[in-house]
Chains A and B, each alone.
Chain A
């Protein structure tokens, strides 16, 4: 059985890779349909085998797999390996990744129908699936970093997929570089792990973690820091890049320049959750550093609340959803900080489904509107696109946490968990996520009403072609709507309060907020009833009502508010100035330093004074001595060599005799 499972796991990662390579290298030979068939079959195999693995591990209680595939390299006593750890955590991620990816492959047939880069696109998304699976299935930090950077690469390629657009190629470079800032921290974290644990293997590191919990290190003289704090914060900096947490969030809104299926797959459902997954995976380390946990709480809280606010002023339908993603990632991060890792993963799973659904619904709208993304030019679309309207409604309800939808359970669990947490920063985080609920409902239904209801603001040309999207688009929407609605109710019991993750996630008894909530948990109905005694549900409803009042009932009011509070409005439109700051200080600054070092350091000082100066000096001396000034470089060179030979002779003479 063990050997069999290993080949299944190998097939799960290799099938999408093979599909990707075939579609990428032989795209012209196999044609458009060849490319989508080969990749859809590849990812389909992955998805089905992931379900098999899921059943094996979760339902049948099968053996957890922790084994090496091959040795990457060995130097001295260090051995770096590529291997898999398939436990309850990774197998859940595998199902989400491969399943969502599969749906998006199918959807892409419709969305990218007329695109000349059709084969290339399929090759990229399959490659992404491979990289993401390698990331979640890894059993060591090295492979984690491989997957981590590889998903970043594919994200880069896909954001810049339409490489003729200046905005797209600006966005992809920005995304890659901001992620590299995160990876910079991540790599230092890995280096610290290797230094103190002498291995990069998860199981060994986690086993030794308690022994090293008290170790301190000095990075700045006189400052003793807990080793765990240093490692955890370094690793978390990586997560801040990948999972777009303030202040490394700036790349995610711009990443919407990529085609919509990518926004759904990479920039909502899977890749951006890699950071969340990573921290949950590292729970045996994070549990030993309250400083790191508090840091995570605060960063997550800031992201959850302030990024949600930005969603209120965006007019591009995809950008609203992008800010919503940022804010939801903030929720997950807050959960991690509160040691409610299971709640973070739970929200990750539900969010993957409903956010993919929302993006694909937005994509369906964008197809119908002939690639118009401005919501001010939409309105009343429910008449023309009933399936899109309906599925988008489900996605929005799940997003705002409407009772009994999947998002309700996962978000409420996070709010409750933070409420129970006693770590520094938990109080702030609680208020942030709670008020975030209102903001979420407001921007979600602002989007929903502006797009589907109210006055039709569509131009005549587009209007005449307006119709519901084809089956390859609507079927994935309907398929994703199902888990968006019901998966929360199914998973909450086992995942949060049961023994779902077994040993995959470790929580110190003092931090066990979910355990505390679990004592009062008696099934989903009582959980829902209990929720009506807390403010979150009412805040969500208030948000919807406010959206209705502002965008349906009194559509002139938003402009009045914007004018009245023009300062705040401007701050929000400028996204708190992060982009301007980065552009001026980091982009401009590095170029300034570069120019300074080059023009002054290299050209003026080293070449000007030292190199050519020496040549000039030699020339002058030789001119005096030999009364020759030919002006030919050869002569200066000759003079220089003569000079050196004299020096040499003196030197040799002194040493030898």
Chain B
């Protein structure tokens, strides 16, 4: 299919303009606002699906490229394009936004239009992050994105929302400032903000290492990696359900995307030099955070910690490649690790999104996230229990669900680098099942724990629709992940080829 639409501009600006329209419509026509927001998000999603099918899987080159000069003095351009890394993430964004808007339907009662508008604008900005090929444009979207998220938590959040928003804002802002410095330095060297030019810019090892660390501060906070992860549980706990879903499903992926788009290709020698450092941090995330998740009493905190632990597989998959390659002399296993990390990002988007929605379903009814306030929910909400079982199993990495695919590939790849790295990573099989299913047992199984649980009503049609869609996707990518890999593969093969070539000058 050959369509000459400016896909990426539509994906960025349609939701932003839609959001402004929704704001303009205001709260007087609440129903219209909801329908309008839903229509915008659905149309945007359909456009992204169209882009998916127009995408040429035979090349690693950027596609749907748009290039217009923006600030000529500094050679900053409005430069967009996608490859096998960014396209799946854009689809994840447009898909999740539709679900988030449906999930808010009856739940959000105050400032509905502003809530909807915030998510639509956020969607456009996030698409911008994934589509930008100009570093300044990227930075613009990257920072701008914080504002709607900040508002979502700050306005519709829980009782400690102020502490959480400040912590969230400071952490991420702190990280991105260093990224800005690195980008400015790169501009001074390359004379361009074109990310693809930066990929080819030779740099000394010291410069690469400093740049790598500057990027690391930005991306490690976002993804988040141990030990800069403590903002995430607080942000999740205070965020409204929709905020948590977007945060977990997409915003965390920005960190992973940053590693793929910036750290690895711009500073490949530094990445290689510092890979064991990254591997250690990833393993700490997987094991240490797994233990921490086990003892949480708050469901959202538990899922937040589980997210951090799962993100450990993303960074492990991204940085294990150098050792795998060194140990076997074979690039295939390294590419497998990278693609496994990418798959983990996509899958985690669905699963953690679904789990946060599940907690949202319970929270809407009982206004509590404490595990101990529940027990025996299966008696009164059998359909809900069945869905949550599926997502809990997916979170434990059960084969046949998308949660298995990424972890499996990363473990296979890590094994080729070192038995012990794979050994530690594979502990997630036990820990992941332990914290997820133990929570499930205490919340869902058992006899009816109290009067509140006895009065619960099962999910309504709207909630069921969201969970069915997510369940279908989780199963689809678990049973047949091949199409996704077809889209990703050329890009990752090229990426690994690129990062194994030294960029040291002379």
**Residues of A in contact with B (beta carbons under 8 Å apart):** 70-78, 145-146, 149-150, 153, 156-157, 160, 163-164, 166, 169, 173, 176-177, 180-181, 183-184, 187-188, 190-192, 194-195, 217, 219, 590-591, 593-595, 597-598, 601-602, 606-607, 610-611, 615, 633-634, 637, 640-641, 644-645, 648, 651-652, 655-656
Contacts and interface: CB of A to CB of B under 8 A. Distances in A.
B419 to A, nearest CB: 5
Contact of A75 (B167, B180, B339, B414): B339
A157 B331 CA distance: 41
Contacts of A149: 398-400
Nearest to B174: A644
A370 to B, nearest CB: 21
- Most-contacted residue by chain B among A74, A169, A645 (CB, 10 A): A169
B230 A607 contact: yes
Given A195-B415, A634-B166, A602 B230 contact: yes
Interface in B376-398: 376, 378-379, 389, 393, 398
B295 A183 contact: no
A601 B292 contact: yes
B398 A184 contact: no
Contact of B399 (A77, A150, A598): A150
A74 B485 CA distance: 7
Contacts of A591: 294-295
Contacts, number: 169
Nearest to B336: A75
Interface of B: 162-163, 166-167, 169-171, 173-174, 177, 180-181, 184-185, 188, 227, 230, 288, 291-296, 328, 331-333, 335-336, 339-340, 376, 378-379, 389, 393, 398-400, 405, 408-409, 411-412, 414-416, 419-420, 422-423, 426-427, 429-431, 433-434, 437-438, 441, 444-447, 479-482, 484-486, 489, 493
B260 to A, nearest CB: 16
B185 A655 contact: yes
A181 B432 CA distance: 12
Nearest to B291: A594
A176 B438 CA distance: 11
A597 B288 contact: yes
A133 B446 CA distance: 31
A595 B295 contact: yes
B336 A163 contact: no
A611 B164 CA distance: 12
Contacts of A74: 482, 485-486, 489
Nearest to B386: A24
B449 to A, nearest CB: 11
A149 B177 CA distance: 45
A188 B430 CA distance: 13
A637 B168 CA distance: 11
Contacts of B430: 177, 180-181, 184
A425 B447 CA distance: 48
A606 B485 CA distance: 38
Contact of B188 (A71, A192, A602, A655): A655
Contacts of B441: 169, 173
Contact of A191 (B177, B288, B412, B433): B412
B489 A150 contact: no
B493 A651 contact: no
A655 B339 CA distance: 35
Given A149-B398, A191-B415, A602-B230, A75 B489 contact: yes
A110 B324 CA distance: 56
Given A153-B398, A176-B433, A195 B292 contact: no
A163 B292 contact: no
A72 B419 CA distance: 25
